[in-house]
Amino acid sequence: MTPAPPDTSIPTLGPCLFPSPLHRIGGVDAPFKTDAADRILYHSHLLEDGRDASTPSYEEAGARERIYFDPARTTAGIVTCGGLCPGLNDIIRGLVNQCNQQYGISRVYGFRYGYEGLVQRYGHTPLMLKPSSVEQAHHFGGTLLGSSRGQQDIGEMVDTLEDMKVDILFVIGGDGTLRGAAEIVKEIERRGLKKAVVGIPKTIDNDIRYLDKSFGFETAFAAAVQAVKCAYVEATGTVNGVGLVKLMGRDSGFIACYAALAGSNVDFVLIPEVAFELEGDGGLLESLRYRLNKRGSAVVVVAEGAGQHLMQTNSATDASGNQRYGDIGLFLKDRINTFFKERRTEVNLKYIDPSYIVRSVPANAADNVYCSRLAQSAVHAAMAGKTGMLVGRWHGSFVHLPLELVIHGRRKVDATQELWRSVLECTGQPALMR
């Protein structure tokens, strides 16, 4: 007999008669909730509340009773690509330990310097990874395998996998890396090979779609908070002090939002998802002048991809094929100083760019646990013969997601939803600066 679901009703003291003062947050309507319509499902699994298998769903991650690969004859490979991120060494350590200690796989290769390590003409000799060689890896930032950006020849990479008799390839990287993994899968299928490719999504910007969060994100914004606190100290210690902090976030402003909420003493948050202008009565510069007149200091947090329309940029791309963005931090620094100088108003601006510090620190305890569980889930999936997929967490459960589902588009801050509204409430900034 199926037990009845728990009673989730919430008592109230009586009718609500007064209009909320939050009807306007930053100049726009607040996203008010209704008790009857805005509810979160109790169950996260199919068939628990009468839903059938036709409901869209993901495979749940975890060990399978029967596996595809014979562990004694299996060879695995690990590659880390793209920019650094807290937790990379934790993932590597988790994969090696799970392969060796739980499944008995004795041959685990670490390909050095990203996808370059899978192209033999570069001469990057793979490392043979054992539990003893990674036992202290999680105490250090970066990746013990090294990393690189840029596209490589898919055929040459699959040639290397064949030559080294690699059965399973674990690919740790972000959007561009996962697109590369999808192409590797297609080439493997074209050749009729039986090799598993499993991705573990890595992006400090937290912009992989259909995931609760990416590994390393908690560590990254915690490190960013320290920079925000320093900016506040600098700003409040001088006349008309302005602390300007540029944080990572090319297309998604999650780090900027979370750092501002955790740091509390932030007056303006600028992210790629919300356009702003500099000039005019409602622009950033006049809003900043008003804030200085009122409080005597201000802290501005800007994501690296914000305000690109304000600068003269070209169509050049980096090694990963991403458009090269202008430096919004230095741009704002110059424009703010010029604005106040033209008005003969003293301003003391301190500019902080902690990007390399944020991405290079070791993972914190929460990310240690998250990385370990991601690694375990990835090995379980690969040994069961799963391929063309990545592991991640969705609604609190670890799941399998098809690569093709997540590589088309990025996760972004929704300016109509609670996270951005929380930022507006915390900072008091106008919702629209135009």
| DSSP for residue 100 | I
Contact 215, 374 (CB under 8 A): yes
How many CB atoms within 10 Å of residue 402?
Answer: 14
Name the 3-class secondary structure at 115. Answer: helix
Residue among 304, 294, 273 nearest 424 (CA):
273
> Which residues form the catalytic set?
205
Strands (DSSP E) along 241-347, which ranges?
241-247, 268-270, 297-303
In the chain, what is the straight-line distance between the N-terminal and C-terminal CA atoms, in Å? 60
How far is it, in rounded angstroms, from Cα 333 to Cα 310? 13
Geometric angle at alpha carbon 376, from 80 and 386, rounded to 5° = 80
E strands of 236-371, at which residues? 241-247, 268-270, 297-303, 348-352
Backbone φ and ψ of 171, nearest 5°: -110, 120
Q: Widest CA span of the chain, in angstroms? A: 78
